Each structure stands twice: as C-alpha cells, then as structure tokens.
Chains A and B, each alone.
Chain A
Amino acid sequence: MIRELLWKEWRENRWKYATLWLVFNAPILILMLAIGTLPGARDPFGDLSDRMVMKYLPLTLGEGFLVASLFLLATSMVAVAVFRPDSADKAMFFVFEQPVSRRKYLTTKLLYGACQVALAVCFAVLFAPAAAYAMMLMSGKATLAGSGAMFGAILGAAARCILWCTLVSVAAFLGAALISALVRRWWLAAICAIGFVVLFGAYVFRDNSLFGGGEFFDIVPTVEGKTFSVSVNFPTSHWLTVSDILPMPTGFGPSKVVPLAAGAALIVLFSTGLAWVYERKELK
C-alpha cells in the first residue's frame, strides 16, 4: 500500500522535485559552465595555486546561505505545485476512495516531499565545495597536499550547515504546502506562499530569540580583527575580487538548541495543520 502511494508521488511529482534539484545546484553549474567556456570568466583564478584555493573555496559555503534564503522561494513554489492538484483538482478524493486512511496518504506525501527537499539540500550544499575543489585540482596547480586540509574544513562546515538549511527548507516547504491545501486557487496560493516565505526568511535571518539571526551555522568563518570582503563587478576581467584569504576554520561555534528546536517545532506545527486540513476536506 505504501509502495503504491510512493509510486504515485514519484510519478506525479518527479519533474517538480527535479526542478528543485536543478535550481539548488544552478549557481555552481552556471559557474562551472562559464569557467569552462568563457576565457574571461577564468581571469580571477589565473594562478590557481593552493593559496588561491584557500582564498576562493570558502565562497562555496554561500550555497547554504542561498538554500536557506533566496532558494526558499523555489522550495515553496515546488510545495505549491505538489500540493495544489490535491485541493484545486480534487485529485485527493481519488485516493480517499481507496481503502487507505487520509492520515497514511498525507504522511507518505509529506515524508516523500520532506525527504526530497532534505536530500536536495544535502546534495547542493556538499556538491558546491566538492565540485569547485575538483575543478581547482584539475587545473594542475593546486594540490591535495597543499589545500586538502582546507577542503576538509570547508566540507565539515558545509556538513554542519546542512542541518540548519534542511530544517529551514523543510519548514518553508511544509508551510507553503499548508497554504496550498487551504487556498484552492493556485495563483492565490502561490502569492500567499511567496509572502509567507519572504516573511519567514526575513524572520529567520533577523536577530531574534528563536532563530538568532540565522547564525547557527557559520556561513563564512571569521577571525576577530580581520576584515574580509567579496565584490562582484561584471563584466570586467576581475569580476570577482576577494580582499583577503579566509582564515581556515578550525572549530565551530557552540551548537544552539533553540534555533534547532524552533525549526523542528515549526515542522511539527505545519504537519499537524496539514493533517487537520486533509482530515476535514470535503468534495463540494
């Protein structure tokens, strides 16, 4: 029974989730494509020594920041696209006419969606530094011995930020899903979901008691007394400028329980809300 419900989710929504994976990985894929095909795009990385690797590789940690901020819009739109047909096209009643409980159907749908979002987040956040470092190694000037430790530290920081990014993304996914289950018109659901995600994202990254300004994970490691800046100026030959080499992250800040608990509580709250809405859906 569960297998059939999982098949339905996969068959119905495979391209929607594939789009999410594509969007999440778009920055690094576009960068790889640009560097591979445009000689001008390679200028800032002319001398790809280990020193340059240490300067540029930490920038890939920005993928986590994108996933938990700008890309929340994509996450919410996928949630609307996945949950909209159930309500707007009344397709849920086809499943409700099978000998399976509404709760079991919704649980399968939610778990499948949450797993897709979580896996896409994990892959994107780890893929960005891994792909960038692989490209740097392929240039032949950077060496594993010279910059391998830095790569390991960056990957460790990325792995740590996955937890936070997954919580924020899954919460945004479920919040948007709840909106699409409540609002039958798809365009209104889309507008409401965008509004929700903008407010949610703004709250997460604002200095507040629940999320602490999104500083649970150190997107860019900093050292006191050191300033660090990144500037992007298209289309000059030095379109990407990094003012200083980032200090190598040697440790992580203390884990904050409240932001994690707040993210988990939101996920439970939105899931419960969805279960309540699905249980009360009527074929009018």
Chain B
Amino acid sequence: MNLIETRDLTRVFGKLRAVDSATLEVPAGTVLGLLGPNGAGKSTLLKLLAGHLRPTSGSISVLGAPAAGRAPELWRRIGYVAQERYLPGWMTAAECLRFTASFHQQWDSAKVERIMGRHDFPLQTHVRDLSRGHYVRLQIALALAHDPELILLDEPTSGLDPTGRHDLLELLIEEIGRRGCTVVLSSHMVEDIERMADTVAIMEGGRILTLGGVDAVKGTNSLEQTFLDYVNRRQE
C-alpha cells in the first residue's frame, strides 16, 4: 500500500518551476531520501506533501487524502520537521510540548525525554533563545511523540555540529527501526541519505532525475559519485 502518491506534481513560483512533474510512489514502511543540491525543490516537495503548499498542477495523495494540510485530522498521523524556524519564539520549550501534546490522544512522554536528553535540555528557555541543536531536538520530539505513521524531515541535520548530527541520525534510525514508519527525508548530505534511506530520489531543478533503491541507483559507483554525475549531466 502506498502512503504517498503524486502524479505530475508541479509547483510554480512566478517563472520558477520549483517542483516540475514529480511522480512518486512511497509504499508503507519505506525510507525515501530526497537528495539534491540547494534549490533542487526538495523542501517544496516536502511542503506539498505536508499540505503547506498547494500544487499548481498534478495530483497528490498522502495517507489516502488529497493533501495533508487540507484535512486537519491527518496531522495525528503525520510528523513534520521543517527547515525553517517557525515554532512560536515566545513559548518555552516545555510550553511548546504541552501545547502540542494537548491536541493528541497518543503522546509518548518517555520518547520525548529520550529525544530531548534527560538532564541537559533547557525546557524553561524560550524557543527563540534555543541553540540550533536544541531547536532541532525540540522539533523532532514534537514530530515523533504522537507516533505518526508518516514522518517528513526537511534537512533535519543542517547546521548541526558533527556530534549533534551523529546523535540525531542515531535517534531517527532507532525510531524508524522500532516502529517501521514511513519516512521522507530531504538532505544535500549524501552520507545522511545513504545511512538512513532504502530508496532514493535525486532531484535537480525541480525534477526527479532518478528514483529507486539505493543500491540500484548507485550501481557500482558510490552514491556521492552517482549524485554528482546526475547533477552535472543535468546542468550541462
């Protein structure tokens, strides 16, 4: 069963085709990595899947509904980590968690503690004052605590130091391994995708250049070399 299906999905901003005729099928339990350089359209595709953007043309189905954002009940089954910072800066981290928890019948406090780190997380600090590392941990906790079936992660490791990045990936891998949920992860870090994804889509200029299992896509090359080959060929 496919949790996500898109057909010729296109989103245009002015003259820019941010996502251009993207056709995707993501079966349940898959970890799909969206790999592409900056401006490839990864974030736009994720926002379209989350329902934060409306498609200019094409069709989109997430968890059987036309678009997540249009059906609020779907947010019980989706966790989304955005690249931008838009959690309300005036809330403390603890208030942010309490506010979100109040909307969900299912809320795993133990998981939240595990993600936030038991002792060192400044729960009483305003969100606007959190470091990038703490902010991302909070985002991940908010996105995962209600045990969603589908997790959308937009460059979750960008801006993190190597230790923070390593810890975060470990955490995500553990969560995916435990629950077998479906994940769409965007990144321009090849090693992140290689470590987490079982399926990869290479994007450039809004188009999906290739889509398939990681081993099938990279063939005998490394994933990084394959990625560079696709992008260079496209840019030529």
Contacts and interface: CB of A to CB of B under 8 A. Distances in A.
Given A99-B75, A99-B103, A101-B72, A94 B86 contact: yes
Contacts of B103: 1, 4, 98-100
Interface string A86-99: 00011101101111
Contacts of B76: 99
Interface string B64-78: 000001001111100
B81 to A, nearest CB: 10
Interface stretch (B87-95, B176-184, B202-210, B221-229): B87-95
A261 to B, nearest CB: 34
Interface stretch (B32-40, B47-55, B156-164): B47-55
Contacts of B100: 98
Interface in B102-125: 102-104
A38 interface: no
B53 A284 contact: yes
B95 A11 contact: yes
A3 B13 CA distance: 38
Given A8-B99, A99-B73, A100-B103, A283 B89 contact: no
Contacts, number: 62
Contact of A283 (B52, B90, B99): B52
Nearest to A85: B88
- State which size class the interface on B falls in: 20 to 34
Contact of A90 (B13, B69, B72, B84): B84
B197 to A, nearest CB: 23
A283 B73 contact: no
A102 B72 CA distance: 8
B149 to A, nearest CB: 14
A43 interface: no
A224 interface: no
A93 B53 CA distance: 11
A93 B100 CA distance: 13
A12 B72 contact: no
Interface string A1-29: 10110011001100000000000000000
Contacts of B102: 1, 3-4
A190 B87 CA distance: 23
Contacts of B74: 99
A156 to B, nearest CB: 42
B99 A4 contact: yes
Contacts of B89: 89, 91
Nearest to B69: A96
B26 to A, nearest CB: 20
A8 B87 CA distance: 13
Nearest to B53: A282
Interface in A186-213: none
Interface of B: 13, 47, 50, 52-54, 69, 72-76, 80, 82, 84, 86-91, 95, 99-100, 102-104
8 contacts: A3-B102, A11-B95, A12-B90, A91-B88, A96-B69, A98-B75, A99-B75, A282-B47
Interface of A: 1, 3-4, 7-8, 11-12, 85, 89-91, 93-94, 96-102, 282-284
Given A12-B88, A97-B50, A98-B103, 14 more contacts: A1-B103, A4-B99, A11-B90, A91-B89, A93-B52, A94-B86, A98-B72, A99-B75, A99-B104, A102-B72, A282-B52, A282-B54, A283-B84, A284-B53
